[in-house]
Structure 1
Amino acid sequence: MRAIMLWSLCAFCLFLTGCLSVTTVPTTVATTMSMATSQVTTSITTTTAVTTILTTFSTNEYGFDYLGETPPNGNTAIRFDPSGFVASSVWFYHSSPVFSPDGNEMYWSKYLVALDQIEIWYTRKVEGLWTAATKLEIEGISGHLNNPMFMAGDDGLFFVNIVGGIFAIYRVTRTVSGWGNPIMVGLPIPEGYSLGWDFSIADNGNMYFPLSSNDLPDVSNIYVSEYHDGVYQIPTMIANQGTGLYGNFAPEIAPDESYLFFTSRRDEGYGYHDMYISFRSGDGTFSEPINLGTQINTADEDGRAGISEDGIYLFFTTAKAGDRGFNPYWIRINQLDVFNDR
């Protein structure tokens, strides 16, 4: 199964994303970030929680314990593989793990091979112990669920919902009983363009995501929609990124927007897809992308970056030779060579 299986399911996702000075694409759509584009009058439920305790914890200096895993300290990425959460031939990660702002929950996208289905799963820390993985059920919403994401200062959980090839970002809010009130985020996607599998949110609410034109659906570019006074603005394409075989996709923006990770397949790459980074300059433009090199990239599939909620670690998924499916790896961001070389 390797990269080809992941990206065959994501055939529609291999295309999304691009460059950075600021190119505005006309749109006929207006939106408000009351996020009321299309409200789904359903409620969030979860499957019955399994009470099996997986691990005790020891917190790091920021209060995050990461399911009891010892965080990486050196300049080599290590596998994030807490017991019960390691991918196999049955399922693999379709996103990096994402922790809630308080560090007491972990969410991730799981691709089930036999079902050709993407689901969101989670685990919670209860009385100091982590529970077994539980599927997140969203009553009334079908299709694939991908890319769970939190936003600074917001109590909601964001994710991508895919039904019949149509991609949309939803937000649910926490209630006494769990999650509820799913609402489609009001992004003004330009006419003739389609959203991709992934997105990322900066601390100021700006949202980064890949778009592909309906005329060239297999090549995507990364866009940013700025968030002003509760309203998402018309997306602008990030310039200076160039394009690979399938463009650029899977963006992960730094909380302060000082740098941007993304995934791309290029002739100079090491494998099927590689991870790249662009740094933001004082004038708001981003640098030409830099391949993260063999410190991160392999001869196989690498991508889907995720920055930890405490801002210390980079998570990413990889299908290293000899590994079991797509598993997340992690490394301290300040140990990346591209930061030390600056």
Structure 2
Amino acid sequence: MMDRICMFVILLFSILTMSSKSYSQDEFPVLKGPYLGQTPPGLTAKPFAAGIVNTEEWGDAGGFSPDMNEFFVTRWKHSRDAREPESVIFRKAGDQWQKIAVPAEERRPFYAPDGKTLHYGANYKQRTADGWSELKSLGPAFEAIQIMSLAASAKGTLVLDERGSSAGDGILRYSRLVSGKWQDPKPLPKEINTGIWNAHPYIAPDESYLMWDGERESGYGDADLYISFRQKDDSWGEAINLGDKVNTAAEERGAQVTPDGKYLLFNRMVPNANGKAGTQSDLYWIDAQIIEDLRPKE
């Protein structure tokens, strides 16, 4: 009788153990190596860290810190009835990545290439001996603009967008750093500010090119990603569509290049993974060679 009881207890324990393991898919997986342990893409765009960065229930975007040891993920609701999203930071400790929850009110910073300045719209922080300075203002001219995205070059030049109006007149601006002070932002030229919407700019650290998303009649469908290369006379060249390796009939936005210069990250609106009607925003990546392939040959 005792043997039967023991066997029952062992069997029950095994069943409970197996049941608990069936929920292990919700646990954070072991991720080792660069790029959150993901296999890099070639010249075909593919989702970045599916199920880890990209989720079924939220819109997801993100980017690496300049030292490539942190990846900040911003998440947002697809619909009003969705539960509140959880933004997270993936931080590399040794060769392994850890997931850290971020308070809902904390915004994703836009890093300067040297990692010494964090930009938050019209505000910024600078690295100090003890960590980071208090939040500072870029100035009244920046505060007057509803900035969504901002990027900085190694020289300190800023490019920024604005939310625009319901008519979709968002334009891109730039500001140069002169004697330690940012000049009032000025609109970029018509080669870039054309169409009904331009947003989410990215400037190369060496300022050799500028990328952004825009809506133009000549595009593949909804918003497409465009690039303009710096000319010999310091002007910006004609906007070039990144082509069908990146752009589709869907909406592509938020181009950025990994700090090591190897991969292009961007967001694409895709059908909802949970089977519901509508679309969701997933993060994709592709080899940055596509940028060099578009660079005009001298």
The 3-state SS of whatever aligns with 1:294 is: coil
Aligned to 2:226: 276
Q: Does 2:125 correspond to 1:171?
A: yes
Change beyond 3 A, Cα 1:337–1:225: closer
Structure 1 position 208 matched with structure 2 position 208: no
Cα shift at 1:107 = 0.9
One-letter identity of the residue aligned with 2:119: F
Secondary structure of the 2:244 match is helix
Kindly state the Cα deviation for residue 116 of structure 1 after the two structures are TM-superposed.
8.8
Structure 2 counterpart SS, 1:110? strand
- Residue identity over aligned pairs, in percent, reads 28
Q: Distance in 2 between matches of 1:174 and 1:129?
A: 27
The match for 2:29 among 54, 60, 63 is: 54
Task: Decide whether the 8 Å contact of 1:188 with 1:232 is kept in 2.
Answer: no
- In structure 2, the CA distance between the partners of 1:231 and 1:117, relative to structure 1 (3 Å rule), is farther
Distance 1:133 1:288, change over 3 A: same
In the other structure, the counterpart of 1:86 is 54
5+ long unaligned stretches in structure 1: 1-51, 59-64, 161-167
Match of 1:328 in 2: 283
Query: Which of 63, 75, 82 is residue 43 of structure 2 equivalent to?
Result: 75
**Cα distance change on mapping 1:225 and 1:117 into 2, 3 Å:** farther
- What secondary structure sits across from 1:101 in the alignment? coil
Query: Secondary structure at the residue paired with 1:194?
Result: coil
Which is greater in Rg?
A: 2
| CA distances 1:91-119 after superposition (whole Å, capped 9, x unpaired) | 112x4x22122221111321134469787
For residues 112-147 of structure 1, what are the alpha-carbon distances to aligned partners after superposition, in whole Å with 9 as ceiling and x for unaligned?
34469787531111232111242146xxxx5x835x
Match in the other structure for 2:138: 186
Q: Report matched runs for 1:127-138 at 5 Å.
A: 127-136=94-103
Secondary structure, aligned partner of 1:335: helix
Task: Give the alignment's TM-score, normalised by structure 1.
Answer: 0.68
Give the conservation status (yes or no) of the 8 Å contact 2:163–2:170: yes
Contact 1:87 1:326 in 2 (8 A): no
In structure 1, distance between residues paired with 2:145 and 2:167: 8
Are residues 1:227 and 2:188 paired? no
1:219-261 per-position Cα deviation (integer Å, ceiling 9, x unaligned): 122111001221001222211224222x311100111111111
* Contact kept in structure 1, 2:210 and 2:227, CA below 8 Å: yes
Aligned length: 263
Q: Distance in 2 between matches of 1:115 and 1:187?
A: 36
Moved more, 180-189 or 292-301: 180-189
Normalized per residue, which structure has more helix?
A: 2
C-alpha spacing 1:319/1:122, structure 2 compared with 1 (3 Å): same
Shift of 1:171: 2.7
Asked if residue 110 in structure 1 is aligned to residue 75 in structure 2, the reply is yes
CA gap of 1:79–1:341, structure 2 versus 1, over 3 A, is: farther
Separation in 2, partners of 1:120, 1:174 = 26
1:31-72 alpha-carbon deviations (Å, 9 max, x no partner) = xxxxxxxxxxxxxxxxxxxxx6532323xxxxxx00100111
- Listed as ranges, the gaps of 5+ residues in structure 2 are 1-26, 275-279
Point out the structure with the larger strand share: 1
C-alpha contact (below 8 Å) 2:201/2:213 kept by paired residues: yes
Residues 341 and 230 of structure 1: is their aligned pair in 2 closer, same or farther, counting only changes over 3 Å?
Answer: closer
C-alpha spacing 1:126/1:337, structure 2 compared with 1 (3 Å): closer
Q: What is the RMSD of the two structures over their aligned residues, measured on CA atoms?
A: 3.0
> Residues 174, 312 of structure 1: CA spacing in aligned structure 2 closer, same or farther, 3 A cutoff?
farther
Match of 2:107 among 145, 158, 161: 145
Q: How does 1:303-342 map to 2 (within 5 A)?
A: 303-321=253-271, 325-336=280-291, 338-339=293-294, 342=297
Distance 1:80 1:100, change over 3 A: same
Assess if the C-alpha contact under 8 Å between 1:207 and 1:224 holds in 2: yes
Q: Secondary structure at the match of 1:244?
A: coil
